[in-house]
């Protein structure tokens, strides 16, 4: 009997090749059954990343606060005032904190598999849990950040309203979008190590085009309307804009932002899952 005959005989008796990729439905069900592993891994990473720091968990909120202070000082001085809203500090803080969730998920997803080669080669589990654990980690870190963000926004005179509750589903949609992005870059970095060299440039590009420290509406006010519409198709900008609509006064509701936010979350997550699953057999062997 040749190899093909042995494989046919094994399949006839219900035997599967070691490391074979299961059907997508079974794969996702197995990932759901192992979800506690991803959650535990996320908690461990938070503790490990801050273990040697004197301020510990405080750095989760201190770092974005320092970033907002730095950007506020720089861009608040050199940028023309007509590109900034009147409530610039809450506007900037929301942008920096929200963008941090995206940028962390992007960079974390890139090393989710390549940074855990020993785990991948020694244990059998759905590899999708590794990039998802990264997103879960940053979602956990986002909770105290949102609380601090809300305190800062309120301290600068923004009234508390029922719209603040909408922040929860908005960040849930963003987490879904981030998960899709993390899955895509997790696979790409396994096959193409050079992707890690490009990601910082991609992150910086999104930072500058997402309206973190300026208003797209004000900057593009004198340009053709299609330019603003094109800029608003950036999902990262839309998640930031929606959080600003909830927390920062004077921000108008943008129907397009809601449409892009929901569609991007669903499409990106679905594509990321299938794209990552397709290469399940190759993780740990390259």
249 within some domain: yes
pTM for the model: 0.86
> What tokens does 279 get?
């290469």
> What tokens does 265 get?
């979350």
Around Cβ 68, how many Cβ atoms within 10 Å? 22
10 within some domain: no
Q: Which domain holds residue 125?
A: 23-282
Q: How many domains does the chain have?
A: 1
78 within some domain: yes
32 within some domain: yes
What does the pLDDT look like over 80-124, one tens digit per residue?
566 667 788 888 889 988 999 999 999 999 988 888 888 888 888
64 within some domain: yes
14 within some domain: no
Q: What are the C-alpha distances in Å from 195 to residues 109, 182, 237, 283?
A: 12, 13, 23, 16
Cβ pair 278, 188 in contact under 8 A? no
6 within some domain: no
Q: What are the C-alpha distances in Å from 7 to residues 3, 20, 31, 62?
A: 6, 12, 27, 57
Question: How far is it, in rounded angstroms, from Cα 58 to Cα 35?
Answer: 27
Question: How far is it, in rounded angstroms, from Cα 215 to Cα 70?
Answer: 18
Q: What are phi and psi of 120, to 5 degrees?
A: -65, -40
Largest CA distance in the chain: 79
17 within some domain: no
Cβ pair 218, 79 in contact under 8 A? no
What does the pLDDT look like over 193-238, one tens digit per residue?
778 888 989 998 998 888 888 777 777 777 788 787 888 889 999 9
């Amino acid at each position: 009997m040749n190899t093909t005959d042995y494989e046919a005989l094994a399949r006839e008796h219900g035997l599967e090749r070691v490391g074979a990729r299961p059907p997508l439905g079974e794969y996702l069900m197995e990932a759901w059954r192992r979800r506690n592993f991803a959650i535990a891994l996320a908690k461990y990473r938070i503790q490990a990343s801050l273990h040697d720091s004197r301020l510990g968990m405080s750095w989760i909120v201190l770092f974005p606060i320092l970033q907002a202070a730095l950007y506020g000082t720089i861009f608040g001085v050199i940028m023309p005032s007509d590109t900034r809203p009147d409530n610039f500090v809450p506007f900037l803080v929301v942008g920096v904190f929200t963008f941090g969730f995206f940028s962390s998920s992007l960079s974390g997803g890139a090393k989710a598999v390549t940074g855990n080669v020993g785990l991948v080669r020694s244990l059998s589990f759905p590899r999708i849990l590794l990039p998802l654990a990264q997103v879960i980690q940053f979602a956990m870190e986002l909770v105290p950040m949102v609380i601090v963000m809300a305190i800062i926004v309120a301290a600068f005179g923004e009234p508390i309203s029922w719209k603040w509750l909408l922040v929860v589903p908005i960040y849930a949609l963003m987490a879904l979008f981030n998960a899709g992005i993390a899955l895509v870059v997790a696979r790409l970095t396994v096959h193409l190590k050079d992707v890690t060299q490009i990601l910082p440039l991609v992150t910086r590009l999104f930072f500058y085009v997402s309206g973190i420290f300026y208003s797209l509406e004000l900057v593009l006010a004198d340009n053709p309307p299609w330019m603003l519409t094109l800029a608003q198709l950036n999902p990262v900008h839309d998640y930031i804009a929606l959080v600003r609509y909830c927390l920062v006064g004077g921000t108008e509701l943008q129907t397009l932002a809601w449409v892009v936010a929901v569609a991007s979350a669903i499409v990106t997550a679905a594509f990321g899952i299938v794209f990552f699953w397709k290469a399940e057999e190759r993780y740990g062997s390259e």
